[in-house]
Chains A and B, each alone.
Chain A
């Protein structure tokens, strides 16, 4: 099935460092979402973006919806050990009877304490 291009695939960082990851698509979406998934659990929504150019923060997390509507990025500031996990971007064209999300392959974040 269709998936988004997410990079980097994995990253190792020192506690306290800032993290950046991004997601690109060949298709336009009207909504971009960022999820975090811990081992053995389902994805948990971190941030939802609804308009091109929108910049939204949730605590130490900041995400932006690209102007072209084909990309998005997520920044995590001052990383801590509990930030470890897999981060997924997802695009959607929500409306009417639709409701499915298109996910990237994820960015695996590991933090050295």
Chain B
């Protein structure tokens, strides 16, 4: 297993367009998380899945954002009608039920909205 995989690594889009990112977690991990990281800041929690159930959503996750994890495997994060303020690194992480040393981050998708 090569770890948490995120695609694409970079995305440039025009304001108002929709974008979708994909995260493939470590295969045996049942928990999956999405974070957003802007320049000069630490990652900020967006949402969390246990298997296919979305159990927690941050107030940062506006109505334009939607995340899915069909069948409890890969996850997608969609941003509709992108705004310049959406420009950030979007990080995915996965873990088993317990144990911080297995809580693994992917390399992220860098979104630039122009």
A3 B50 Cβ-Cβ under 8 A: no
Q: Determine, out of B13-21, B67-75, B79-87, B104-112, the stretch whose residues face the partner at the interface.
A: B104-112
* B50 near A106: Cβ-Cβ < 8 Å: no
Q: Are A41 and B107 in touch, CB under 8 angstroms?
A: yes
Q: In the bound complex, what is the Cα–Cα distance between A31 and B95 (angstroms)? A: 16
A74 at the interface (CB under 8 A from B): no
Number of residues in A with C-beta < 8 Å to the partner?
27
Contact with B along A79-113 (1 / 0, CB 8 A): 00000000010101010011111111110000000
Q: Confirm or deny: B103 has a beta carbon within 8 angstroms of a beta carbon on chain A.
A: yes
Near B by CB (< 8 A), chain A positions 21-58 give 31, 33, 40-45, 48
Tell me, rounded to whole Å, the shortest Cβ–Cβ distance linking A36 to chain B: 11
Q: What's the Cα separation between A48 and B33 when bound, in Å? A: 18
Q: Which residues of chain A have C-beta atoms less than 8 A from B56's C-beta?
A: 97-100
Say whether A1 faces chain B, with CB atoms less than 8 Å apart.
yes
Closest chain A residue, CB of each to CB of B102: A45
How many Å lie between the Cα of A30 and that of B64 in the bound state?
33
Assembled-state Cα–Cα distance A33/B99 (Å) = 12
Cα–Cα distance between A1 and B106 once the two chains are bound (Å): 22
Closest to A33 in B: B100
Residues of A near any B CB (own CB < 8 A): 1, 3-4, 6, 31, 33, 40-45, 48, 88, 90, 92, 94, 97-106
